[in-house]
Structure 1
Amino acid sequence: MGKAWTIGAVCGIPLRVHPSWLLIVGLATVLFQGQYGRLLQDRQLAVAALGIWLLGLLTVLLLFGSVLLHELGHSLVALRHGVKVRSITLFLFGGVATLEKECRSALAALQVAAAGPAVSFTLALSFFLLANLIEATQPIAALVCQRLMILNLVLGVFNLMPGLPLDGGLIVKALVWHFSGSRRRGIQVAAATGLVLAITAIASGLWLVLVWRTSSGLWLGLLGWFGLEAASAQLQLLRLQDQLLQLRVQQVQGRRYRVLDAQLDLRTVSRQLAGEAAEMGPQDWLLVYEGHRWLGRFQPETLKALPVQCWSRESVSQRLQPREEIPSIRDSTPLWQAALALEQAPEARLLVLSGAGLPSGTIDRVDLVKAVCKGLGIRLPEAFLGQIQRLGGYPPGLQLGLVASTMADSEDTNSSVKS
């Protein structure tokens, strides 16, 4: 969503405001000011021009307060189910509560999704009752309450539309997940309905603009575009998960390591490394063997830490990193588990071990990216991949560590691992 400002916290949850929120506050204030001007005139209520503008601004702020309560409804139910809420962000199209992970069960996910619309409908009922209570004595305040009642009702109904990223789409996902036993199937169905709704909204918006010449079609089209992007992102996430689920480490691993004899002295090692500098990759690991027995890893930085005079007296076996301390992974491991392990590896690389427990290669984030992109039919320039490898991260849009974290508790993933 881009940069947003943190302005405080609600119930311990950081509250953030995206710059686009300021735009919608200004536009909505103008819209409500015009509506109040006509309504007050029809009801023969006298309010100064400045007062009408203030009513418009107050309505906008109370509307976003309602949106905040809507998102807080999601957040508090998520917290009750043990899911941490990273933030609540107000932006152009309303608000969004960002959860650290998905709920472990379909019923919990259903409760979290339904909590927001339930809050909106409760607010709509509250404003309706308050408007009737004060209409005789405070007609202007009652008018504001009536606006807020309608707005919250629309907010609740709109969010129940059955397509991602709306709450209705999350409810569909949870229901399909519950009855099919597959979270993945739930996402597929909800994302597909989200695409249909988004394309319908865009087409309807264009029709309203081109045929009816009304500017409200632009807003509908923007909402449709936002929905299209969100639904497409969910489908892209599924494709990435497919690749991480189907591939195994042995299909992806590289062989960026060299072998050293454990009995070599450090001076000989220094000369050997200097002689092989042209053909040896700058990030190749040096694995230490004694005969056919693998002992561990030698790190060239060791030479810098010792006086040159000691090099002839010290052997590789005396200065190695024991194999038990080297981050490693089995070659039969699914790629999503490798992505999670790489997030914990100090050098963002793992040593790949065969079924016999012997080194067979190495794997890092670029190896994962290459394999996933090949599976998706995407070609990335080698120069770009080299830059990513030096930085030790992932390219934009291919944050495979985050994708893998969404798979950790998935029934689909667990069943695949067992099979």
Structure 2
Amino acid sequence: MRNVHLTTIWGIPIRINVSLLVLLPVLVYLIAEGDQIGIYASAIDALAPATLEVAPLEEGATPWLIGLAGAVGLFFSVAVHELGHAYAARRYDIGTESITLWIFGGLAALESMPREWHREFWIAVAGPFTSLLLAVVFAGLLQVIPGGLALVLFVVGWLALINVVLAVFNMLPAFPMDGGRVLRALLGRRWSYVTATRIAARIGTIFALFFAVVGVLGGNPLLVLVALFVYVAATTESRTIALEELLRGVLAVDVMDEPARSVAADATLSDVATSLFENRRSEFVVTDDDEIVGLVTLSDLGQVDRSTLETTTVREVMTDEVAHVGLETPAFEVLRAMGRDPLVVVLEDGDPVGTVSRRDLGEIMQLRRELGAPGPFERTAM
């Protein structure tokens, strides 16, 4: 989904995902509808020295103004929460690529996730701690807002309460939420990073099931969506960390197939079919005057009528772009660069010297899995 740039703080782009446009009206409705204002008002009245008159807040369009102000204030609070993570990460010289506000709250995309337990611990708790500080700020503002400004008094008080809720909810040990990352950090004091992640992810899926049951029984679709997010994110990160560990210490040069097998862009598909069979490969890099211009695969040939193989050129069916990496690129980064493509090209001084396919990475991961994922890959002269 598309992200819209909002502003930049500390050099960090703050973005809004279009999914937020779906959630914003829902939040406005949840804040404004029914008896919600009366319920929140009783708690706010206990915090504020001024008496909060509820009746004016429930008249006309006022509830909807409160809902809109509260929803916008909530996502402002989420942005500050994520800036707390970013600030803590900066203390460890870890940059933040962006902060995105989306349907599930906020996401601070750190340049790297520290494996040292104490660093992950402090970066994780920084968000909830920032939310608590923000709650204190809003509670302080309540002490000076005149009772006549009922709408302002309510919104500020509601934000004080919701920031406490935000901090407490995020500290639930439901990986990959903040509490789950704190749990992984503490588990990392005793077990390996991979094992700690696996345990935290399993606990996260249990919480996801709990959220789903409560959401369904309580008629809360947002909680069901949170359950889905926690489940998918926990299982995905657990698998990602396991893959990263299997590829740790491996470079592109260690697993690449050399030389880089290529075909000319103007070659016919009949010639390519012959080359694929002779080389027992399912893809070739496409070149034009020694410049890489694309990628052709066996599936590309399968989409062409057999009667036209002699007259159709590679240029007509190839994928126009192919990812490339350097010799010293870590294998896990190679996998990321590959994306949905079947391979990446390995370059040395701008010239293709080999390729790395999913099969190449799969073979090395299978080998290391069977060997118990030993330490850094032992490189030998090629």
Smaller-chain TM-score range?
0.5 to 0.7
Q: Return closer, same or farther for 1:363/1:182 CA change in 2, 3 Å cut-off.
A: farther
> How far apart in 2 are the matches of 1:276 and 1:230?
41
| Code of the aligned partner of 2:14 | L
Instruction: Specify which of 167, 180, 190 is matched with residue 178 of structure 2.
Output: 167
> How far apart in 2 are the matches of 1:220 and 1:338?
36
* Equivalent residue number for residue 7 of structure 1: 6
- The normalised TM-score by structure 2 is 0.66
* Equivalent residue number for residue 77 of structure 1: 88
> How far apart in 2 are the matches of 1:64 and 1:205?
22
Q: Does 1:115 align with 2:114?
A: no
Q: Does 1:101 align with 2:112?
A: yes
> How far apart in 1 are the matches of 2:249 and 2:92?
30
The root-mean-square deviation of aligned C-alpha atoms, in Å, is: 4.2
Aligned pairs for 1:210-229 (under 5 A) are 214-216=218-220, 218-229=221-232
The alpha-carbon deviation at position 169 of structure 1 amounts to 1.0
Moved over 3 A (4+): 35-45, 132-140, 245-258, 275-284, 299-302, 333-343, 371-377, 412-419
The count of aligned residue pairs is 305
The alpha-carbon deviation at position 139 of structure 1 amounts to 3.8
Equivalent pair of 2:245/2:373 in contact (CA under 8 Å): no
> How far apart in 1 are the matches of 2:18 and 2:260?
48
The alpha-carbon deviation at position 254 of structure 1 amounts to 3.7
* Equivalent residue number for residue 206 of structure 2: 196
| Code of the aligned partner of 2:205 | L
* Equivalent residue number for residue 315 of structure 2: none
The alpha-carbon deviation at position 152 of structure 1 amounts to 0.8
Equivalent pair of 1:63/1:148 in contact (CA under 8 Å): yes
Q: Return closer, same or farther for 1:204/1:342 CA change in 2, 3 Å cut-off.
A: closer
* Equivalent residue number for residue 230 of structure 1: 233
Equivalent pair of 1:78/1:84 in contact (CA under 8 Å): yes
Over the matched positions of the two proteins, sequence identity in percent amounts to 26
> How far apart in 2 are the matches of 1:65 and 1:255?
52
* Equivalent residue number for residue 137 of structure 2: 126
* Equivalent residue number for residue 51 of structure 1: 62
Q: Return closer, same or farther for 1:175/1:117 CA change in 2, 3 Å cut-off.
A: same
> How far apart in 1 are the matches of 2:107 and 2:362?
30
Aligned pairs for 1:333-352 (under 5 A) are 336=332, 348-349=345-346
The alpha-carbon deviation at position 73 of structure 1 amounts to 0.6
> How far apart in 1 are the matches of 2:137 and 2:249?
51
Q: Return closer, same or farther for 1:133/1:376 CA change in 2, 3 Å cut-off.
A: same
2:61 partner SS: helix
Instruction: Specify which of 141, 152, 155 is matched with residue 141 of structure 1.
Output: 152
* Equivalent residue number for residue 314 of structure 1: none
| Code of the aligned partner of 2:241 | L
Deviations along 1:172-229, one digit per CA (max 9) or x if unpaired, are 122222x1363223322221211111122122323x1xxxxx432x222111001001
> How far apart in 2 are the matches of 1:140 and 1:300?
70
Q: Return closer, same or farther for 1:283/1:8 CA change in 2, 3 Å cut-off.
A: same
The alpha-carbon deviation at position 61 of structure 1 amounts to 0.9
Equivalent pair of 1:86/1:99 in contact (CA under 8 Å): yes
> How far apart in 2 are the matches of 1:158 and 1:246?
37
Q: Does 1:370 align with 2:374?
A: no
- The normalised TM-score by structure 1 is 0.61
The alpha-carbon deviation at position 253 of structure 1 amounts to 5.1
* Equivalent residue number for residue 215 of structure 2: 205
* Equivalent residue number for residue 323 of structure 2: none
The alpha-carbon deviation at position 110 of structure 1 amounts to 1.4
Equivalent pair of 2:260/2:345 in contact (CA under 8 Å): no
Equivalent pair of 1:66/1:123 in contact (CA under 8 Å): yes
> How far apart in 1 are the matches of 2:115 and 2:28?
41
| Code of the aligned partner of 1:233 | T
The alpha-carbon deviation at position 10 of structure 1 amounts to 1.9
Q: Return closer, same or farther for 1:15/1:335 CA change in 2, 3 Å cut-off.
A: closer
- Give 1 or 2 for the bigger CA radius of gyration: 1
> How far apart in 2 are the matches of 1:300 and 1:277?
21
The alpha-carbon deviation at position 348 of structure 1 amounts to 2.2
Q: Return closer, same or farther for 1:244/1:67 CA change in 2, 3 Å cut-off.
A: same
The alpha-carbon deviation at position 21 of structure 1 amounts to 0.6
Q: Which moved more, 1:222-231 or 1:192-201?
A: 192-201
> How far apart in 2 are the matches of 1:166 and 1:197?
11
| Code of the aligned partner of 2:29 | V
Equivalent pair of 1:342/1:364 in contact (CA under 8 Å): no
Q: Which moved more, 1:131-140 or 1:189-198?
A: 131-140
The alpha-carbon deviation at position 255 of structure 1 amounts to 5.3
The alpha-carbon deviation at position 328 of structure 1 amounts to 5.7
> How far apart in 1 are the matches of 2:127 and 2:346?
42
Aligned pairs for 1:379-398 (under 5 A) are none
* Equivalent residue number for residue 61 of structure 1: 72
1:165 partner SS: coil
> How far apart in 2 are the matches of 1:37 and 1:334?
54
Q: Return closer, same or farther for 1:338/1:155 CA change in 2, 3 Å cut-off.
A: closer
| Code of the aligned partner of 1:5 | V
1:9 partner SS: strand
Deviations along 1:339-367, one digit per CA (max 9) or x if unpaired, are 69999xxx82269xxxxxxxxxx75231x
The alpha-carbon deviation at position 18 of structure 1 amounts to 0.7
Equivalent pair of 1:342/1:349 in contact (CA under 8 Å): no
Q: Does 1:184 align with 2:194?
A: yes
* Equivalent residue number for residue 301 of structure 2: none
